[in-house]
C-alpha cells in the first residue's frame, strides 16, 4: 500500500499545492519519471484521473469488476474503423498504476531494426541501442524482468508451441515483470498474488519513499502557462458520481504529461498547444486471436497468461504470441446465439487460444469530442490488412496442426471450420475486415518525438516544441510502431526523459 495517496473524491474542498514537478498520469511512463526525479531530490506530485486500489483488492474482484473500476470506459473503449478496418477495442488503464496494472506483463526491448529507423531515418540519435541500453537495464532490474519458465506454460500454450513446431515455426520464451508468479492467468485483471511488478507495486512506492505524493481521482483539465512556460496545472476532483466537481490547482516548475497516447494529445490541445502532428499517427498493434477446439481438456486458465512468442514473421510485420483470456471474456467471441452459442461456450475448457499482433503503419488519430474521452479513429493500411488476414490463416493452420477439431476465426458471423479445406473456402471469400474481432493493447505515437516541429510534437528531450518546461513521457512520444509490447519501451524512454530533465535542472528552473 502506498501511504502518500490523497483520494481526490474524499477531499471535498478546493485544493492548492506546489511542487517542483507535476506528473500527470501514474502509468508506466509517469511512474518512472516520478521515481527518477523524486530520487534526484525533486519534490514530485503525481496526479491521476483514476482511482486508487491496493493490490489486496485485486483478488476480491472479478474480471468485469476490474474492468469497470480500473479500465478506461469499463474496457469498452474502441477505435472507430475507417474504410476496410475493423472496430478495434482498445484496453487502457484508468487507475493508480495505469495500464501497467492491466497488461500481461510482457517485456520486450525495442527491436534494433526499429531503433535503427529512429536513429538513421528520423535523426533521433539518443535512441540508439547503446544510448537506451542503460535505461532498459535499469528498468528491467527494477521491475524484475525474467523469462517465463517452461513449467509455467498452460496447456493452451503447449498446444500453441506444438502446432508451431509442426509447421516449422520457432517459439521463444517471453520475458515478463513477475516475482513469484503462480500461473493464475489473470494478469490482465490485476495480479491477485501481487506477483506482477506493475508500477503500483514497484516504481510508485519507491517514488513515494523518496517523497513523491499522489493525487488520485483528479482530472487535470489544463496545463497553465506563464510567458510560454508551463507553470502548473488546473483541474477538478471527481465526485461520487464520477463527474469532475471540486477544483484544484497546482503550481510547479516543470509539468510532465504522461496520460497515455489516447489522452495526452487531448490535454495538450485543451491547454492551447497546436501542431499538425498532435493526435495524429496513432499506432495500435491490432491483434487477433483464433480459438482451437480440441478433444482433450485444455483448461487454458491453468498456467501463465502469456509465455511464448515467435518472431519468425517479424519481417512480415506479424508477431505470434500466446495468450489466454478468462472464460467469460472468451465467450463473447464465440459464434452463434442461444443454444448453439452455449454449446460452443461449454467447449471453452477444451479450447486453446492462439494470438497474433500486427506491426502497423499507424493510421490512427485522437480527437476531442463530446465527452472527456477521445474520439479515436483508425484506418488500417492495405498492407496491414493483408497482414491481419495472413495472421489469421497462420494461427488457424497452427491450431489444426496441433490437433484442433474445430477452429473459430475472429470473424463476426463466421461458423467454426473443421478442416484446412474449410478454412481455405472461408478465407478465399475474403470476408470484410470490418467483421473481424480485433483488440489493441498498445496505443502509441500520438505526440511523436521529432527533430523538427513540423514532424512531431516533442523534441528529442521529451519537451514539447510548443512550450518550455512541458514534457511528455509516455507511449505517445514513440516515433513509430514498434511491433512488440510497449510497457518496457515506454518505461525506458520515460527514464531517459527524466534523466534529461534532472541533468538540465538549472535550465528548467530558471
Partner 1 sequence: MVTLSHALSDGRGPAPQAQAPRDFARTTLRRRHRPLVRALAEAMFSHALGPTRERLDAFVDEFDNFVSFASRTLRFGLLVMLGVVRFAPLFVLLRFATFETLRLDERIRIIERMAASRFIGLALVLAAYKGIFSLLFFEHDDELAALGYKDERHRHKHALRLVASTTAGEVAE
> Which residues are catalytic, by number?
442
Nearer Cβ to partner 1 (6/491)? 6
Residues 191-226 as b or e (16 or more Cβ within 10 Å = b):
bbbbbbbbbbbbbbbbbbebebbbbbbbbbeebbbe
Positions in 338-357 near partner 1 (CB under 8 A): 338-339, 341-342, 345-346, 348-349
The three three-digit cell numbers of residue 262, written as one number: 489516447
Segment near partner 1 (CB under 8 A); pick from 72-80, 98-106, 255-263, 499-507 = 72-80
The three three-digit cell numbers of residue 45, written as one number: 506530485
Q: For the chain, how big is the Rg over CA atoms in Å?
A: 22
Query: Is residue 251 at the binding interface for partner 1, with CB under 8 A as the rule?
Result: no
# chain residues binding partner 1, by CB under 8 A: 84
Query: Is residue 434 at the binding interface for partner 1, with CB under 8 A as the rule?
Result: yes
Q: Which of 99, 47, 73, 100 is nearest to 375 (CA)?
A: 73
Query: Is residue 294 at the binding interface for partner 1, with CB under 8 A as the rule?
Result: no
Show Cβ contacts of residue 21 under 8 Å, excluding neighbours closer than 6 positions.
33, 34, 37, 42, 43, 44, 45, 252, 253, 254, 255, 256, 501
Query: Is residue 63 at the binding interface for partner 1, with CB under 8 A as the rule?
Result: yes
Positions in 298-327 near partner 1 (CB under 8 A): 299, 301-303, 326-327
Q: Which of 186, 87, 159, 90 is nearest to 410 (CA)?
A: 87
Show Cβ contacts of residue 34 under 8 Å, excluding neighbours closer than 6 positions.
21, 23, 26, 44, 46, 203, 204, 207, 212
Segment near partner 1 (CB under 8 A); pick from 170-178, 224-232, 237-245, 475-483 = 237-245
Cβ atoms of residues 151 and 157 within 8 Å = no
The three three-digit cell numbers of residue 478, written as one number: 514513440
Grid coordinates 503462480 are at which residue?
182
Among positions 144, 316, 373, 386, the unique one binding partner 1 when judged by CB under 8 A: 373
Q: Which of 442, 487, 475 is nearest to 257 (CA)?
A: 475
Of all residues in the chain, what percent are helix, strand and coil, respectively (each to 5)?
Answer: 35, 25, 40
Query: Is residue 510 at the binding interface for partner 1, with CB under 8 A as the rule?
Result: no
Query: Is residue 332 at the binding interface for partner 1, with CB under 8 A as the rule?
Result: yes
Positions in 410-429 near partner 1 (CB under 8 A): 412-413
Shortest Cβ 63–partner 1 spacing (Å) = 7
Nearer Cβ to partner 1 (67/291)? 67
Shortest Cβ 14–partner 1 spacing (Å) = 5
Which helix (H) or strand (E) is 308 found in, with range? Answer: strand 308-310
Query: Is residue 270 at the binding interface for partner 1, with CB under 8 A as the rule?
Result: no
Query: Is residue 2 at the binding interface for partner 1, with CB under 8 A as the rule?
Result: yes
Query: Is residue 54 at the binding interface for partner 1, with CB under 8 A as the rule?
Result: yes
Query: Is residue 3 at the binding interface for partner 1, with CB under 8 A as the rule?
Result: yes
Segment near partner 1 (CB under 8 A); pick from 52-60, 137-145, 259-267, 356-364 = 52-60
Query: Is residue 377 at the binding interface for partner 1, with CB under 8 A as the rule?
Result: no
Shortest Cβ 231–partner 1 spacing (Å) = 17
Show Cβ contacts of residue 141 under 8 Å, excluding neighbours closer than 6 positions.
none
Positions in 149-188 near partner 1 (CB under 8 A): 149, 151-152, 154-155, 182-184
Segment near partner 1 (CB under 8 A); pick from 211-219, 225-233, 271-279, 353-361 = 211-219
Query: Is residue 378 at the binding interface for partner 1, with CB under 8 A as the rule?
Result: no
Q: Which of 331, 310, 38 is nearest to 174 (CA)?
A: 310
Nearer Cβ to partner 1 (20/312)? 20
Which SS3 state, helix, strand or coil, does residue 210 take?
Answer: coil
Positions in 439-498 near partner 1 (CB under 8 A): none
Among positions 175, 213, 379, 508, the unique one binding partner 1 when judged by CB under 8 A: 213
Amino acid at each position: 500500500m502506498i501511504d502518500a495517496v490523497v483520494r481526490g473524491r474524499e477531499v471535498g474542498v478546493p485544493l492548492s499545492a506546489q511542487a517542483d514537478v507535476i506528473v500527470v498520469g501514474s502509468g508506466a511512463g509517469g511512474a518512472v519519471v516520478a521515481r527518477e526525479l523524486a530520487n534526484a531530490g525533486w519534490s514530485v506530485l503525481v496526479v491521476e484521473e483514476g482511482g486508487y486500489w491496493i493490490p489486496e483488492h485485486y483478488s476480491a474482484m472479478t474480471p468485469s469488476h476490474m474492468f469497470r473500476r480500473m479500465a478506461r470506459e469499463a474496457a469498452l473503449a474502441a477505435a472507430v474503423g475507417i474504410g476496410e478496418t475493423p472496430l478495434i477495442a482498445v484496453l487502457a488503464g484508468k487507475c493508480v498504476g495505469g495500464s501497467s496494472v492491466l497488461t500481461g506483463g510482457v517485456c520486450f526491448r525495442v527491436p534494433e531494426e526499429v531503433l535503427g529507423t529512429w536513429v538513421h531515418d528520423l535523426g533521433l540519435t539518443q535512441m540508439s541501442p547503446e544510448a537506451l541500453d542503460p535505461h532498459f537495464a535499469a528498468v528491467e532490474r527494477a521491475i524484475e524482468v525474467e523469462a517465463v519458465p517452461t513449467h509455467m506454460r498452460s496447456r493452451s500454450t503447449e498446444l500453441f508451441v506444438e502446432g508451431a513446431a509442426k509447421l516449422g515455426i520457432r517459439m521463444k520464451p517471453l520475458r515478463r515483470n513477475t516475482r513469484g508468479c503462480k500461473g493464475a492467468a489473470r494478469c490482465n485483471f490485476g495480479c491477485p498474488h501481487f506477483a506482477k511488478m506493475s508500477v503500483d507495486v514497484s516504481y510508485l512506492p519507491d517514488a513515494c519513499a523518496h517523497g513523491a505524493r499522489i493525487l488520485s481521482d483528479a482530472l487535470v483539465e489544463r496545463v497553465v502557462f506563464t510567458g510560454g512556460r508551463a507553470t502548473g496545472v488546473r483541474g477538478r476532483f471527481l465526485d461520487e458520481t464520477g463527474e469532475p466537481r471540486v477544483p484544484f490547482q497546482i503550481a510547479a516548475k516543470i509539468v510532465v504529461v504522461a496520460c497515455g497516447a489516447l489522452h495526452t494529445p487531448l490535454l495538450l490541445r485543451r491547454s492551447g498547444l497546436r501542431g499538425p502532428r498532435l493526435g495524429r499517427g496513432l499506432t495500435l498493434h491490432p491483434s487477433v486471436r483464433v480459438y482451437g477446439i480440441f478433444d482433450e481438456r485444455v483448461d487454458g486458465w491453468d498456467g501463465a497468461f502469456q509465455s511464448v512468442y515467435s518472431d519468425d514473421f517479424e519481417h512480415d510485420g506479424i508477431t505470434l504470441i500466446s495468450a489466454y483470456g478468462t472464460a467469460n471474456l472468451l465467450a463473447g467471441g464465440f459464434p452463434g446465439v442461444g443454444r448453439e452459442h452455449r454449446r460452443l461456450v461449454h467447449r471453452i475448457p477444451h479450447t486453446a487460444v492462439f494470438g497474433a499482433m500486427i506491426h502497423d503503419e499507424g493510421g490512427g488519430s485522437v480527437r476531442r469530442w463530446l465527452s472527456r474521452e477521445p474520439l479515436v479513429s483508425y484506418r488500417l493500411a492495405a498492407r496491414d490488412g493483408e497482414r491481419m488476414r495472413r495472421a489469421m490463416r497462420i494461427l488457424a493452420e497452427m491450431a489444426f496442426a496441433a490437433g484442433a477439431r474445430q477452429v473459430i476465426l475472429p470473424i463476426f458471423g463466421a461458423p467454426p471450420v473443421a478442416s484446412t479445406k474449410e478454412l481455405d473456402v472461408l478465407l478465399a471469400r475474403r470476408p470484410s475486415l470490418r467483421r473481424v474481432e480485433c483488440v489493441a493493447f498498445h496505443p502509441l505515437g500520438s505526440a511523436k518525438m521529432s527533430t523538427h516541429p513540423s514532424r512531431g510534437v516533442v523534441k528529442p528531450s521529451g519537451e514539447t516544441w510548443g512550450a518550455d518546461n512541458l514534457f511528455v513521457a509516455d507511449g505517445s512520444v514513440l516515433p513509430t510502431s514498434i511491433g512488440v509490447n510497449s510497457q518496457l519501451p515506454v518505461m525506458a524512454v520515460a527514464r531517459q526523459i527524466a534523466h534529461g530533465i534532472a541533468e538540465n535542472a538549472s535550465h528548467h528552473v530558471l
